Amino acid sequence: MEYMLNLVRRHKAGEPVGIHAVCSAHPLVIEAAMEVAAAAGPGQPVLIEATSNQVNQDGGYTGMTPAAFRDFVHGIADRVGLARERVLLGGDHLGPNAWQGESADAAMAKAEVLIEQYVAAGFRKIHLDCSMSCAGDPVPLRDDEVAARAARLCAIAERAWQAGGGEAPVYVVGTEVPVPGGAHEDLAELSVTTPDAAAQTIAAHRSAFSAAGLDAAWPRVIGLVVQPGVEFDHHKVIDFRPERAVDLSRMIEDVPTLVYEAHSTDYQTPANLAALVAGHFAILKVGPGATFALRETLWALADIEAAMAGDGKGSGFKDTVLEVMRAEPEYWRKYYSDDPRDPRRARFDQQYSLSDRIRYYWPHPAIQAAQARLLESLEREAPPLTLLSQYLPAQYESVREGRVRNHPVELLKEGVARVLRQYMYACDREACSKDAGNKDACPPGAATRELEAC
């Protein structure tokens, strides 16, 4: 994790640099992220993160253990031609999150196994998050209890690293409000974390680490998760307003080894992303925003195929996805309206909500089969430029300029890459200048106009 430690040193020395973490298990999203990193130059890594619900010792909702997820990601890197040492693996919200319904003792015992497996598998950026209350716990937990549990898990991570060798882990502490993955309900305004609250979180964790004999690990605590005032709900984005976070930004300047980690930055504008990095939110998390772009492109390809077929349906890809979601509502029912008097609302949210609950359904066998039919159809007969211009105007320009092939998988990856490049350029001005010919992601003047906040 020397790259991460050096990144923090550079940022603390006054360079407006950061890194974005791609939180997704979708192979095309990961592949696009790796290709974006490769295009940015030989020194640029890609940071891929898994959450405790997504990947754990029981398989999580992906069905993958930490070791299996590592192998999955490395397999994509091998296929893309990106050296494995340029792939950084992170674990997000690692703690008792997946077992909150159990007692604290039982949940923390499982969290210890989780942490050990993540570190043993080679994950080296570890977010220690014990902020959630378990069965029988008070709500909310006191800061000192949260910190003590985090230190307990850090001790497990340190032992796992020392037993297995390799680079020492770096850690992130704290949590954001609202919950990970976007708000469940409509939002009006958010409270920015106060400097006093951030300082108290740091002090509580510093004290807990010291009490647990982890003074040697403390300099590798590089990030603090706070709420800078960014969030999204189903159809609205709360934009970053730097003036509301001035005091919070200034507070971290006096902490020599720490920057902020900002969650739920999906759908922020390029200028807002750059302003976040300038405000010391140097680690930016993106997940649903990338898979939302994937869904947008898939929907557009389905419309293109239907137009080419002349029957308005084609392979029926969209209908298949929505039928599966209606039949298996586990991943969206708690989040979207399911009022039988207004079935159109649920159908609308299933497709277009910014929280992108549809991302949980892409691995479904029926959807995979329908997607394969869609892509095979468009591989047999490439979309005409007229339909690309109609449904995928950004990709149309890229195809015309020769930067992207008129191939369905390449069009899909480009849809995701356009989002991820915004993060790359917000975190690294040099990456923008290296790819200055890419007008979609680095338009003329972006280095001075879009990123002037840096």
Q: Indicate the DSSP class of residue 232.
A: E
- Per-residue confidence (pLDDT) for residue 120, from 0 to 100: 98
Which pLDDT belongs to residue 188?
A: 61
Instruction: Output the pLDDT for position 47.
Output: 98
Each residue of 139-177: pLDDT tens digit? 999 999 999 999 999 999 999 999 999 999 999 999 975
- Which stretches within 223-364 are classed as H helix? 246-252, 270-278, 288-309, 317-327, 343-352
List, by residue range, all CATH 3.20.20.70 domains of the chain.
2-286
- What is the Rg, in whole angstroms, of the alpha carbon atoms belonging to the chain? 22
For CA atoms 135, 141, 146, 152, give the dihedral sign: negative
Q: What is the C-alpha separation between 211 and 390, in angstroms, rounded? A: 62
pLDDT of residue 101: 97
**Tokens read off for 397:** 């320009």
Beta bridge partner(s), residue 49: 23, 90
Fold observed for domain 292-381: GI Alpha 1, domain 2-like (1.10.400)
In contact, 252 and 198? CB cutoff 8 Å:
yes
How far is the C-alpha of 441 from the C-alpha of 200, rounded, in Å? 39
- pLDDT for res 331: 94
Residues facing 94 on adjacent strands: 128
pLDDT of residue 159: 98
Asked if 286 contacts 271 with a C-beta cutoff of 8 angstroms, the reply is no
Per-residue pLDDT tens for 51-79?
Answer: 999 999 999 999 999 999 999 999 999 99
Specify the domain boundaries for CATH 1.10.400.20 within the chain: 292-381
**Which pLDDT score is estimated for 287?**
96
Helical ranges in 212-287 per DSSP H: 246-252, 270-278
Give me the DSSP letters along 16-42: ---EEEEE---HHHHHHHHHHHHHT-T
| 178-227 per-position pLDDT tens digit | 444 444 445 567 899 999 999 999 999 999 999 999 999 999 999 999 99
pLDDT at 435: 57
CB-based burial label for 216 (10 Å; 0-12, 13-18, 19+): exposed
- For 322-361, write each residue's pLDDT tens digit: 999 999 999 999 999 877 788 899 999 999 999 999 999 9
Give, in order, the Cα–Cα distances in Å from 199 to each of 88, 193, 246, 248, 264.
28, 10, 15, 10, 22
What type of residue sits at position 268?
A: Q
447 vs 40: which has the higher pLDDT: 40
What pLDDT does residue 442 have? 53
Q: State the pLDDT at residue 187.
A: 59
What confidence tens digit (pLDDT) does each residue in 374-426 have?
999 999 999 999 999 999 999 999 999 999 999 999 999 999 999 999 999 99
Share of the chain above pLDDT 90, in %: 87
Q: Averaged over 115-143, what is the pLDDT?
A: 97
CB-based contact 389:255 (threshold 8 Å): no
Tokens found for residue 198? 């951030």
For 228-246, how does the pLDDT look when each residue is reduced to its tens digit (9 = 90+)? 999 999 999 999 999 999 9
Amino acid 412: pLDDT? 98
Measured on CA atoms in the order 323, 329, 332, 337, is the torsion positive or negative?
Answer: positive
Residue 438 near residue 402 (C-beta atoms within 8 A): no
Across residues 255-263, what is the average pLDDT?
A: 97
SS (H, E, C) 82-141: CCHHHEEEEEEEECHHHHCCCEHHHHHHHHHHHHHHHHHCCCCEEEECCCCCCECCCCCC
The stretch 25-50 carries a mean pLDDT of 96
Burial (CB < 10 A; 0-12, 13-18, 19+), residue 165, is exposed
The fold of 2-286 is TIM Barrel (3.20.20)
Q: For the beta carbon of residue 308, count every other beta carbon within 10 angstroms.
A: 16
pLDDT at 432 (0 to 100): 60
So what's the pLDDT on residue 310? Answer: 85
pTM: 0.93
